[in-house]
Chains A and B, each alone.
Chain A
Amino acid sequence: MAKPALILVGADKGGVGKTTVARTLLDYFAAHHVATRAFDSESPKGTLKRFHPDAAEIVDATVVADQMRIIDTLSTTESTVTIVDVRAGLLSPTLRALRDIGFLDAVKKGQITFLVFHILGSSITSLNEIEETAPFTADARYFLVKNFINNTSFFEWDQATHASYFKRLKDAQILTIPKLNEMAYEQVELASVPFLSFVANKNPKGETANYSFVLRGYFRHWLGNVWAEYDRVKLLDSFEASGSSAAAGSRAQAGNRT
């Protein structure tokens, strides 16, 4: 069985489209037949849960019992990948909690694959968050996600400041989520179905729906661009490379030799 993987999708600030990114990941893994489960920490009523009622379970990541629900079941679940949509403002506290319970040590030992998607807003305050999360993400695949989904203006980032922050995260990879047509965004939200169902013109019951073809077209184009970003960073390799413990072991040996 493949090594379990945990993906945190978070932002220290609300309203930067975190759940949308989590949803593109769920659909991406579904399309590539990677068994995935999701936890929504927008307790008590999560947005992820609304769109993926089968996949998403609501948890409160600040409660120990719920942490256990996620972490303790990682190795026993049927799913290879566990996605946790971390509530706005809780990314750093969650990372700290993961360190405290020894999760990060397990990652370091290569027992668990750990990925963090850090969704960035358009203002400079977002960059300060990177500094807070940096100490906890040394052994994770760390993605900084520039989210342009409902943004026409470019990031107001000063190049020098920008560079000084990104230098600190040498291994971080940058992902860009392009802008999505506002009406397509609105309709996909109203539709309350997974993105792929929306593209296929299906309602929550799986029947043929009546969504605008133009909006579905815009949306499919956008989703294609987002997935191309995941392809570009070879996201799936994170799970395939860790598929056999022998491969992980040989990597560890190679590390010892050098």
Chain B
Amino acid sequence: MPQQTPLYIVASQHPRVGKTLIARLLIEFLRISGRPLVGYDLDPREPTLAPFFPNMVWTIDIADTPGQMALFDRLIADHWRTTVIDLGYGLFEQFFTVMAEIGFEGEARRHSLEPIVLFVTDSAPTTARSYADLRRRLPETVFIPVQNEASSFMFIARDFPPTRPEYGMIRIPRLSPIVRGVIDRPGFSFATYMASQPGGPTEVHTWIQTIFTEFRDLELRLLVGQLQSSLGAIAREPTRPAQ
């Protein structure tokens, strides 16, 4: 089995649920391992992710066809590069509609690119419905629910089943409002902050550590899932005639 390159799509249907923060954390986590990495901020009017990562995160407007080509054609061409997409509520529907219509899943599979939607949940009933609807429209895409405890204290697990039960979910713990200002400073880097611990670990250190651990565990679970499904395919093959 060729190594699959992950294509993370951090998506939310509503504003102010911490989607960009999650995308920032994910990019910094992925950057530590030194692998080739690129990001896209799909909110051209108010790009909030791109300013944190000059020369790594690009802003693209996918409202029209040239923008869609700039994004999806490049994703296929750059299939060797781990990608993080910050997908805001404004173009949420458009993005997934185009993805389904142009048959992106099939093309991604041919290029060993694995789309993984990190779906930022909230307790609105429409959100659970749209989650189920997306999973139906994109059957080959991995869906992982994300609960951001800062914006949503309720998480109903049965409303947001992951693609495989063992994939689980991602939980982003709440950070005290007092230190929240620290991480929102322009140019703030989680990884740099982690590397410098002048007076011992602070709440921010623990918080970043927890989230990075969540991401690392998710990567392992995804890898095990990939191995299991490819082993399963091999194991099923010889038994079929006997059945």
Residues of A within 8 A of B (CB): 181-184, 212-218, 220-221
Contact = CB atoms under 8 A, between A and B. Distances in A.
B66 A218 contact: no
A214 B103 contact: no
Contact of B72 (A181, A213, A221): A213
A212 to B, nearest CB: 5
A220 B101 CA distance: 9
Contacts of B65: 181-184, 214-215, 218
Nearest to A182: B65
Contact of B66 (A183, A216, A217, A220): A183
A221 B103 contact: yes
| Interface magnitude class on chain B | 10 to 19
Contact of B101 (A182, A212, A217): A217
Contact of B104 (A182, A215, A217): A217
A220 B107 CA distance: 12
A217 B69 CA distance: 10
B5 interface: no
Contact of A220 (B69, B98, B103): B103
A212 B73 contact: yes
Given A181-B65, A182-B65, A218 B101 contact: yes
B60 interface: no
Contacts of A216: 102
**Most A C-beta atoms less than 10 A away, residue of B73, B101, B102, B104:** B102
A228 to B, nearest CB: 14
B127 interface: no
Contacts of B102: 213-214, 216-218, 220-221
Interface in B21-68: 65-66, 68
Given A181-B65, A183-B65, A183-B66, A213 B101 contact: no
* Chain B interface, >50% SS class: helix
Contacts of A183: 65-66, 69
Contacts of B72: 213-214, 217
Interface of B: 65-66, 68-69, 72-73, 76, 98, 101-104, 107
A221 B100 CA distance: 10
Contact of B69 (A182, A212, A221): A212
B76 A213 contact: yes
B69 A215 contact: yes
Contacts of A220: 102-103
Nearest to B62: A214
Given A182-B65, A213-B107, A214-B65, A221 B101 contact: yes
Given A213-B73, A218-B101, 11 more contacts: A182-B65, A213-B72, A213-B76, A213-B102, A215-B65, A217-B101, A217-B103, A217-B107, A218-B65, A220-B102, A220-B103
A182 B65 CA distance: 9
Closest 10 CB pairs of A and B: A217-B102, A214-B69, A183-B65, A214-B72, A212-B69, A221-B101, A214-B68, A213-B76, A217-B103, A212-B73
A150 to B, nearest CB: 14
A202 to B, nearest CB: 15
Contacts of B98: 214
A182 B103 CA distance: 18
A111 to B, nearest CB: 43
A216 B69 CA distance: 10
A183 B103 CA distance: 17
A222 to B, nearest CB: 9
B125 to A, nearest CB: 31
Nearest to A222: B101
16 contacts: A181-B65, A182-B65, A183-B65, A183-B66, A183-B69, A184-B65, A212-B69, A213-B72, A213-B107, A214-B68, A214-B69, A215-B65, A217-B104, A218-B101, A221-B101, A221-B103
Contact of B73 (A181, A214, A221): A214
B10 to A, nearest CB: 21
Nearest to A217: B102
A217 B68 CA distance: 11
Nearest to A183: B65
Nearest to A181: B65
Contacts of B73: 212-214
Contacts of B69: 183, 212, 214-215
Contacts of B76: 213
B98 to A, nearest CB: 8
Contacts of A181: 65
A251 B241 CA distance: 45
